Amino acid sequence: SLIYLSFPDIDAALHALAESWDNPPQSWVGSDPCGSNWVGITCSNSHIIIITLPGLGLGGTLSSEIQNLPELVALDLSYNKDLNGPIPPSIGNLVKLKYLVLVGCSFSGNIPPELGNLVRLSFLSLNSNNLRGSIPGSLGNLSKLTWLDITDNELSGPIPVSSENNLGLDMLTNCKHFHFGKNNLSGAIPPKLFHSDMHLLHVLFDSNSLSGSIPPTIGLVQSLTAIRLDRNHLNGFVPSNLNNVTSLIELHLSNNQLTGPLPNLTGMNALTYLDLSNNSFDESEVLPWFSTLSSLTTIMLEYSKVGGQIPTSLFEFTQIQTVRLRNNRFNGTLDLGTNYSNQLYLVDLQNNEIQKLNYVVYPNKLILDGNPYCNQGGSSNSKYCTVPPQSNSTTYVTPILNCGNIVCPSDQDLSPRCNCSYPYVGTIYFRFITFSNTDNTKYYQVLEEGLSKLFEDNQIPVDSVSVHNPHINIDNYLQIDFWFFPAGKLRFDAYDVAKISNLFSNVTFEAPSDFGPYYFIARPYTEAELGSKSQKVPVIVGATVGAVVLSLTVIILIIFALRQKRKATKAVELSQPFGSWDLSKSSGSAPDLKGPKWLSFEELKKCTDNFAEQNEIGAGGYGKVYQGTLANGQQVAVKRAQQGSMQGGVEFRSEIETLSRVHHRNLVSLVGFCFDQGEQMLVYEYVPNGSLKESLSGKSGIRLDWKRRLWVALGAARALTYLHELANPRIVHRDIKSNNILLDHHLNAKVSDFGLSKPIGDDNKGYITTQVKGTMGYLDPEYYMTQQLTEKSDVYSFGVLLLEMVTARRPIERGRHIVREVRAAIDKSKELCGLHELVDPIIGLGIAPAGFGRFIDLAIKCVEESSAGRPLMSEVVKEIENIMLLAGMNPHGGSTSTSESFVTRTRGHPYSSNSSFDYSGGPFSPKIEPK
């Protein structure tokens, strides 16, 4: 491509840059880089002040001529994986540079010591390259530096500190971030590195080869919120003053050879995530801080020779999610108490000396394999004595809405908002997070929202954001793929790509509060996707290389062709099962859905062991429900309609459509369906703890105390609010009852069974006239009489459900209806509202639990005779939330509540508004003027 330049003072430099790249940006054409639309160039007074070209597929090297852009303030060439060779030392002449961001390229050689001349530099990110050699001490000269990231390179040697003749990193008193993980740094951590004048927030030295002991000086840096020294060769004692750093939220010292007593963490009350596993600590007994660090979500202390009885209070910390204490000497009786956190996700106590378990039913993952408890005759069959398969990944993918029959061209992807296009794809690595329950999709939904807002705020045309396969990787980073879909066009242009990339490379994107700092690597957005017309001709050096390239090309072509074919076959398969449907509607053949999979009869037969009796988990008039495992490992519940109770094709299709349209954490989600060989089957996510009815009746063995009941009621109410007020179209469930409220691992409610549900049209009537269906005892009397169905019919059923939860009685027992019973007995002037005879002893033995009276009031309101007198479900949700507050619960915590946000507790969180980045209005915005 031709480049015409006429500005003599800069054209030599730009020309040299472009010359050294294999493929300079297409838009770098014309005579005035400042005046026309040159991608990635920002000028001020005809001087180039910003170059941002991240993610544009640049290859080649970085020309040392860059030094001839002396007004440059920011340079970002991140995510150009083919950009290689050394970082030119001449960059050290760009003394106005504030931001140098070269993330995820292939730069090799040393970090040039000349970077130490960039005295205005505040942000230096060189992570994820192939840099070697040691960290130059000259970086100590960068007194304005706040962010130093050299993670994920091949750097070696010691961490430099100052001496009489040398500069060192201890001089970086304004720096908040030392991100040095994933290198080969060696030697001891110099005590001089830390002192009380520093403002460090994060010291992340994980996965290096550091040895020696942890210097006690680290206790002088009171601003620290995160320390990661795990995966090194550190030895010696943990300094006893570490607990001076009371603002610390993350402490990772695992996988070293630390010795001496277990550190005394008393007073570290902000500590949220603690991992001391796999060291060589002295034998010890349970330490007092075990029962006092009440902010913990995660405690990991494996192979640490700790003995004694695990304090019950550890399980009662409101945010605790993971307790991993494998291979210690804990003994006596394990008592989780009755008030353990509803967020508890994993308690792994393998290979300890625990004799007894003081709580019979424990719904989450508790592992006691290798304890005396499991060797005793009666307990050997206990479900806690087997080790469940380990999994670090969730299968979470942002759900796709109901997209009709859209089939995208094979090289494009379908966005969550039903558009086919070429997404920008990248991977984010969170260097730490404050949670460990990575199954909780709440976190990812918050991320999706944050990202959508980011693009909106920065006016980047993004249609939607999709999050894929979050998992904890081998470095103990949370790794997530992001897909960003263009809005209103097939592909992003180079300007969009550079903007999006820059939002991540310079950490403009502020991750939500439970996520720590991250780095991001963009996948190349290829020329085809950028819509480039000119194809680069590969230069083939020598016959051998040429042959290799050619055969590779052939292989790639074959793979591509096979993939195309597979996709085509899949598309045909997908539409076939519906071809035979006898649909009265004239429109399309396949159900209007996206998300649930079509599954063959054979597949489901296999996954349920030929519908084996031992896999049966439910039965009713409609047929039977089986537990099974799909080929991808996902556990499912298969509802198989029996002959005679099959719905018509239209009804079956309508149920699938309804289910695929609704997505809410308190609704059971549909995984797939089968309409094959004369069968009708619906395949749901497997909800492990059975129905609310089974818990209330004592059948499932899960003991629901008052707080847990409130939590279940709130979940079910939220699901109904979603169906009534947020789903499009609005939906009446029509069969709310305790059999249809299922309980997941964390005893979250999941509303199921949409067999009777009805969409309510938008014709302003607010009701539909329909044949009366439902379950006796829960049925709205007004609907029964008028056949007019509204959302308020569900509210009535929900009221009955609330009464059922208080009494643990079926709605009609011995011919008497619970609503009439309660109304007759109620006396607000008495304890328990006069309901002693009726109340389930588990929640109130004579004394009413907090909020009981209001709960009864709410139930009575919901079962008003006249539908107009009943509250809306959103009002019900609000009232249950109020009741929970009375009961000392956090209704917004969810099963992973975080009442305080990470930001508010960190004071100087890097991305909070008081951050030191001295620019506003978006990444490298042109508002930055050189001073």
Measured torsion, CA atoms of residues 331, 333, 338, 344, in degrees rounded to the nearest 10: 30
Indicate whether 166 belongs to the interface with ligand NAG (CB under 6 A). Answer: no
Distance in Å, CB of 282 to ligand NAG, minimum = 13
Distance in Å, CB of 216 to ligand NAG, minimum = 14
Token duo for residue 407: 């089939």
Q: Which is nearer to ligand NAG, 236 or 399 (CB)?
A: 236
Q: Which is nearer to ligand NAG, 304 or 775 (CB)?
A: 304
Q: Which is nearer to ligand NAG, 267 or 308 (CB)?
A: 267
SS3 of residue 161 by DSSP: coil
- Residue written as tokens 């003072």? 9
Instruction: Give the range of 263-271, 306-314, 319-327, 646-654 binding ligand NAG by CB under 6 A.
Output: 263-271
String of contacts with ligand NAG for each residue 726-765, x by CB under 6 A: ----------------------------------------
Contact 689, 747 (CB under 8 A): yes
Distance in Å, CB of 220 to ligand NAG, minimum = 15
String of contacts with ligand NAG for each residue 580-609, x by CB under 6 A: ------------------------------
CA–CA distance, 443 with 450 (Å, rounded to integer)? 11
Instruction: Give the range of 102-110, 261-269, 505-513, 759-767 binding ligand NAG by CB under 6 A.
Output: 261-269
Q: How many CB atoms lie within 10 A of CB 535?
A: 8
Q: Which of residues 45-74 bind ligand NAG (CB under 6 A)?
A: none
Q: Which is nearer to ligand NAG, 307 or 781 (CB)?
A: 307
Instruction: Give the range of 262-270, 326-334, 789-797, 800-808 binding ligand NAG by CB under 6 A.
Output: 262-270
C-alpha distances in Å from residue 455, one per residue of 21, 214, 288, 335, 920: 29, 42, 47, 48, 15
C-alpha distances in Å from residue 605, one per residue of 580, 610, 652, 688, 750: 22, 5, 20, 21, 26
Distance in Å, CB of 267 to ligand NAG, minimum = 5
CA–CA distance, 639 with 630 (Å, rounded to integer)? 14
CA–CA distance, 269 with 551 (Å, rounded to integer)? 61
Q: Applying CB under 6 A, what is the total number of residues that bind ligand NAG?
A: 4
String of contacts with ligand NAG for each residue 184-223, x by CB under 6 A: ----------------------------------------
Distance in Å, CB of 264 to ligand NAG, minimum = 4
Instruction: Name the phi and psi angles at 332, rounded to 5.
Output: 75, -145
Q: Which is nearer to ligand NAG, 286 or 887 (CB)?
A: 286
Which residues, at least 6 apart from 559, have a Cβ–Cβ distance to it below 8 Å? Answer: none
Contact 219, 247 (CB under 8 A): no
Distance in Å, CB of 243 to ligand NAG, minimum = 6
Q: Which is nearer to ligand NAG, 243 or 421 (CB)?
A: 243
639 is in an annotated binding site: yes
Candidates 605, 615, 627, 622; CA nearest to 674 is 605
Hey, what long-range contacts does 825-828 have (CB within 8 A, 24 or more apart)? 826/856, 826/860, 828/853
Distance in Å, CB of 711 to ligand NAG, minimum = 36
- Residue written as tokens 């690595």? 429
CA–CA distance, 317 with 438 (Å, rounded to integer)? 19
String of contacts with ligand NAG for each residue 219-258, x by CB under 6 A: ------------------------x---------------
Beta-sheet pairing, 322-324 with 298-300: parallel
Contact 498, 41 (CB under 8 A): no
Distance in Å, CB of 700 to ligand NAG, minimum = 44
Instruction: Name the phi and psi angles at 59, rounded to 5.
Output: -125, 175
Indicate whether 266 belongs to the interface with ligand NAG (CB under 6 A). Answer: yes
C-alpha distances in Å from residue 41, one per residue of 24, 49, 75: 13, 8, 10
Cα 289 to chain center, whole Å?
29
SS3 of residue 108 by DSSP: strand
Q: How many CB atoms lie within 10 A of CB 43?
A: 18
- Which residue is at the shortest CB distance from ligand NAG? 264
Distance in Å, CB of 306 to ligand NAG, minimum = 14
Q: Which of 267, 307, 461, 922 binds ligand NAG (CB under 6 A)?
A: 267
Which residues, at least 6 apart from 654, have a Cβ–Cβ distance to it below 8 Å? Answer: none
Looking at residue 722, the DSSP 8-state letter turns out to be: I
Contact 667, 600 (CB under 8 A): no
592 is annotated as an active-site residue: no
Instruction: Give the range of 51-59, 264-272, 811-819, 912-920 binding ligand NAG by CB under 6 A.
Output: 264-272
Q: Which of residues 144-163 bind ligand NAG (CB under 6 A)?
A: none
Q: Which of residues 785-824 bind ligand NAG (CB under 6 A)?
A: none
Indicate whether 264 belongs to the interface with ligand NAG (CB under 6 A). Answer: yes
Catalytic residue among 149, 206, 735, 753: 735
Distance in Å, CB of 289 to ligand NAG, minimum = 7
Contact 115, 136 (CB under 8 A): yes
Q: Which is nearer to ligand NAG, 279 or 797 (CB)?
A: 279
Contact 305, 282 (CB under 8 A): yes
Candidates 119, 199, 120, 69; CA nearest to 907 is 199
Q: Which is nearer to ligand NAG, 248 or 848 (CB)?
A: 248
Contact 190, 214 (CB under 8 A): no
Q: Which is nearer to ligand NAG, 248 or 717 (CB)?
A: 248
Q: Which is nearer to ligand NAG, 59 or 267 (CB)?
A: 267
Q: Which residues sit in the known binding site?
A: 639
Site for ligand NAG, rule CB under 6 A = 243, 264, 266-267
Q: Which residues are catalytic?
A: 735
Q: Which residues sit in the known binding site for ATP?
A: 639
